[in-house]
Structure 1
């Protein structure tokens, strides 16, 4: 069970260009929303309770975030994830065409933004080397948002100590091949 600091440092090695990080602020929430939309129509019953696969996925993600050793970051990431999944349910109830348009549309736009960001980075997305990166992405974006608000100075310093500071990569030069 890798802890938040280790996971964020590993993810940060793939995300040092500020333009890449900026695209993730839109791309990752769009992807989480899209997955919520797409999973919101799949339901199952437990006793008298009917749940959607989206809520089950959100619950599992929440459990994972809350067990990474940073309860504050886990709670913040989980709250945003739950909010996105709740919002996603609003778009899952229409026709199949509407449901798929919202779900697949947001998914594609989210990933296009991710790949644009990685063009600036000059590196492949982190999940290519470690699928856990798909869960770390939302936690990374939340940490970056909180860093901007002055939270987590020690965590930010540790990430920068190990992964380096953020920068704007000169697109005329090849990307560094660290890690």
Structure 2
């Protein structure tokens, strides 16, 4: 490797905090994020479909797999954004989206991520960041199943739909307001 060649660095974060369309739209706007894939994790059925997950019988959470450059954005930065754009004090729901598939969860892909997530939640609890206890589950990641293609870039393709306008857009606005310095250039 020559001096000019810099190794490509990438890590993976997997987060669940309600509808994956919301999380995907926000994290695609974060500087240092290379890709965001909507999908399912934490259940007991192999290769579940959206319909199966929505019916609530598989045990999966709607989640996003985020590939990111830790030299540009840290895992902790991603977690801080995550905790601002969803309600981590609500069990199995985000707003009107109710069911275990909408739970708040962090699926660590390494022991370091597990430690960082646990430490951040403990810090936020000690600081009483929220009026209620944080119920976000933190566990090691298992198999992540990518969602069907029609979920890819859902907000970008459907921003005029009422769900996108009333649920997704406010989360994007909240991210942009609170983390303006974390937005992709030109975003």
User: What TM-score do you get using the length of structure 1 for normalisation?
Assistant: 0.30
Instruction: Compare the two structures and name the one with the higher strand fraction.
Output: 2
Higher helix proportion: 1
TM-score for the superposition, normalised by structure 2 = 0.29
Query: Which is higher, the Rg of structure 1 or of structure 2?
Result: 1
